[in-house]
Amino acid sequence: MSLYLRNNVWWTRFIAPDGKIVQRSTKTENRRQAQEYMDLLKADLWRVQHLGERPRLLWQEAVVRFMRETQNKDQYNEIRMFRYFDKYFRDKYLDEIRRMHVDAIIQEKLEDGVSNATVNRYLQKLKAVLNKAHKEWEVKCSPPYIKLLKEPKKRVRWITEPEAERLISLLPEHLADMVTFALETGLRESNITLLRWDQVDLSQRAIFIEGDDILKSDKAFVVPLSDMAVEIIRRQVGKNRERVFTYKGKGVRRANTYAFKNAVKAAGLENFRFHDLRHTWATWHVQRGTPIEILQELGGWSDYKMVKRYAHFTHQHLQQYVDRVQSGLTTKLSTVTTLGNFRK
């Protein structure tokens, strides 16, 4: 049966030219419209099979394929974004997504009071799906131009060692370990909370971070561990078979919790977030003389501009060069002074 009713909505089921069974809702209670939908769908599939046209792909089908192929470890936030997009694209094919839909998303998000940076994260996820469909899957898709919103300059908020010690003393044990680990490694929150035992090699005193959206890079990198970081990891042994950091034996999802925020407030730290622990780690390194290019490798930054933000915290790396000019001038100034005295 090509058309049949299900809960007062017409569905279509037929064999496509390539031999596959197609079963899909026509999204209408009107039989004439359902027939038209089915005829158009059959025509599209015939052109794909016999004329070599690119096949069409529904947004929801694209989301399932995208998540299956990318295997993003931060699926909680990814699913939240895709559920939001559903209100715009649930029944649409990728080639039906237009710039007006993007503008509507931007407008709604801004009216909800979110920051430009948050809006951009949604836009970047949408671009990722559409670009993958267009370039890799070779389905019918002409991604609209998506221009990201301007974001304020990245701030560098950091705290001193006494402030960090005060904060850690106010945290519950599991959070104190994660905060200390962040200050020892410079890792982002999700890299810490989602850290697995198969990423840890205590014999080499290192952990291995895969390239993904969390890392904000396509490349994997190795994080060497300090004595304190090794001690923290050893304290977690036996609490969970898969995850390193836990709470009551279960893997944690977030570290930037109410307990963390309450401790920040009790410690008298203003405008301080969990991610600022990474800024603090980088700032301490630079203040202690770690070269910027070494810090870039330690922190896994792919863009030199990102790590160069911390260069102003020290001038020690420049000191070795200033005397090179001065030493040349010293001889000249000495000669000028001698001649001046002779003329007198």
The C-alpha atoms of residue 37 and residue 173 are separated, in whole angstroms, by 60
Structure tokens of 11?
Answer: 């569905």
Other Cβ atoms less than 10 A from the Cβ of 234: the count is 9
The C-alpha atoms of residue 330 and residue 335 are separated, in whole angstroms, by 9
Active centre residues (catalytic): 188, 216, 275, 278, 301, 310
Structure tokens of 246?
Answer: 């836990």
The C-alpha atoms of residue 188 and residue 38 are separated, in whole angstroms, by 49
In which element (H, E) is residue 123 found? helix 116-132
Compute the radius of gyration of the chain from its Cα atoms: 29
Identify the bridge partners of residue 320 per DSSP, sorted by sequence position: none
The C-alpha atoms of residue 55 and residue 44 are separated, in whole angstroms, by 8
Identify the bridge partners of residue 15 per DSSP, sorted by sequence position: 21
Long-range contacts of 202-209 (CB under 8 A, 24+ apart): 202/230, 202/233, 202/234, 205/230, 209/300
98 in Cβ contact with 64 (< 8 Å): no
Percentages helix, strand, coil for the chain (3-state, rounded to 5) are: 55, 10, 35
Q: What is the dihedral of CA 70, 71, 77, 82, to 10 degrees?
A: 50
Place of tokens 């058309």: 3
Cα 83 off chain centre by: 18
**Cα four-point dihedral sign 81, 247, 233, 180:** positive
